[in-house]
Amino acid sequence: MYSHVTFGCSNLEKATDFYDSVFSELGFERRPVSPDGGPASACWVPAGKSLPRFYVYIPFDGKPATPGNGNMVAFSASSRKVVDAAYNVALVAGAKDEGAPGERMHYGTGYYGAYFRDLDGNKIHVVYRGDME
């Protein structure tokens, strides 16, 4: 459905450490980024795959990174336990809570998710969709 998602960040080293901890729980691997003339970045993909990709970049225009109002990225988790673990490591790594792990039955049977904001304020949702098995 999509090739990649990109979030701006203010501090690439801190953002990389943050996403390394969250994505380790979700089974994503960090991949090297080939210099392409653009800004410094970091990239993650689901283990064993080449797409989809998630990048954090220093903004190309040199201005501060800012989150979009109403924007959010949701990452699939393989179980409720993985949702809990990703949420917990995100908070330890400096994320802001936007909704503790729990059932969200209004989204569907078996829907279990958590919400948080990364170090730059971007909204992240981690979800296990038991209804999709």
Each domain of the chain, given as residue ranges in start order, spans 4-59+67-132
pTM to 2 decimal places:
0.90
Q: Which CATH class is domain 4-59+67-132?
A: alpha beta
- Residues with Cβ within 8 Å of 104's Cβ and at least 6 positions away in sequence, in order, are 111, 112, 113
Instruction: Answer yes or no: is pLDDT of 133 > 60.
Output: no
CB contact at 8 A, 23 and 30? yes
Q: How far apart are CA 116 and CA 102, in angstroms?
A: 13
Q: Write out the two tokens for 97.
A: 């809570």
Lowest mean pLDDT across 23-27, 32-36, 94-98: 32-36
Q: What's the pLDDT score for residue 113?
A: 97
